[in-house]
Amino acid sequence: MSPAMAVTAETMKKDDPLQSQYQKGVKHLWESGIKSVPMKYVLPVLERPVAMNGESYATRLNLKLPVIDFAELQGSNRPQVLKSLANACENYGFFQLVNHGISNDAISNVLDVAGRFFELPFEEREKYMSVDMRSPVRYGTSFNQTKDGIYCWRDFLKLVCNPDIVPHWPSSPVDFRIMAAIYAKETKFLFLMVAEAILESLGLTTTENKTKEEEEDDILKELQDGSQLMVVNCYPPCPEPDLTLGMPPHSDYGFLTLLLQDEVEGLQIQFQEKWVTIEPIPNSFVINVGDHLEIFSNGRYKSVIHRVLVNSMKSRLSVASLHSLPFSSMVRPSPKLISDANPRRYMDTDFPAFIKYIESCDSTKKKFLESRRLC
């Protein structure tokens, strides 16, 4: 057993010779040749990535998520696919999307250029490093490195996907902005198509024959002008993967997240009170319900807790595209989904409330959605 296992989070903060190195990220630590996980990353025993029966995560359960065929969603089989979509959002909070129309080139190009970004010398990556959670271009580590008592084994590059911001995205690799912008544009279009189907699966009007009242309450129109945040995640090999996590248990802020993964397993979701691993399907997207969609659906569709494992052999790369309403919008349950049998379950919320919440606490303990519940 590693001596670090008995060390408390409070002790970790003190007299650690590597403290200044943590701010540079785990990619930098890995490149320095470390052979064990620093104490700053060691989780308490009960929070480590082990199965419910105490076995190593290497024997964990795998789960095949519901698979939604986007091509069928656009055809004559749409009513049946919508039922499958509703089932996925209600009972899993996640599904895999295949035949989505985004080219293999766009997918392989964004993964390639993202990987090359993290292979740049630290001095180049450091140009974009910031602890300001409002920064539109931000390179960082862990989850919230200013508040996390224990860090997670992840470096990330967050990009607000706004045409005015693109010129401030990394200029190295030289094709980064072009490839990332193409991918962002294609995923935004795909998101809107999936969001329209989800609204239809909720029984909400998405046709052109809307009443004046329905037009005034048109969330799809808001989503068209909504926010998009692209997060490129890098999980370097970890010398002791049983002691830490790539990302702690959390739900996603926003309406939907479209996740592109490489072939390395790592994503786990909480399903029927167990942690289960999602098997990657090549060139597919893992799509999950975000906090905003759970609020908007008044609890019918579920924003599910998930986390990320690391391993000692391979780096893992993912690109998450998080979509929601404009940052200035108020998120609230749809009036059409509130009734005497299903009363309003969430208070209104907005982006400033979310930022205030996560800046006020250790994000590994974050349960933002719980703070919004009325009943």
Spatial contact of 144 and 26, defined as CB atoms under 8 Å apart: no
For position 236, which CATH number holds?
2.60.120.330
In a domain, 360, yes or no: yes
Number of domains in the chain: 1
For residue 303, tell me if it sits in a domain: yes
Within a domain: 1: no
Helix/strand/coil for 201: helix
Flag whether 209 is in a domain: no
Would you say residue 211 lies in a domain?
Answer: no
With respect to residue 248, please indicate whether it lies within any of the assigned structural domains: yes
Residue 326 lies in a domain: yes
DSSP 193: H
For 87, the domain range is 6-204+218-371
Q: 49 or 68: which carries more pLDDT confidence?
A: 68
Q: Which residues contact 211 (CB under 8 A, 6 or more apart)?
A: none
Tens digits of residue pLDDT in 137-153: 999 998 777 777 899 99
138 beta partners: 158
Alpha-carbon span 371 to 346, nearest angstrom: 9
Q: Between 104-118 and 176-201, two packed helices, what is the crossing angle to 10 degrees? A: 130
How many helices, marked H, and strands, marked E, lie in the chain?
Answer: 13, 13
Instruction: Determine, yes or no, domain membership for 212.
Output: no
- The pTM of the full predicted model, rounded to 2 decimals, is 0.88
pLDDT in tens, 211-258: 544 544 589 999 999 999 999 999 999 999 999 999 999 999 899 999
pLDDT digits (tens, 9 = 90+) for 267-293: 999 998 889 999 888 889 999 999 999
Token readout for 375 is: 């009943």
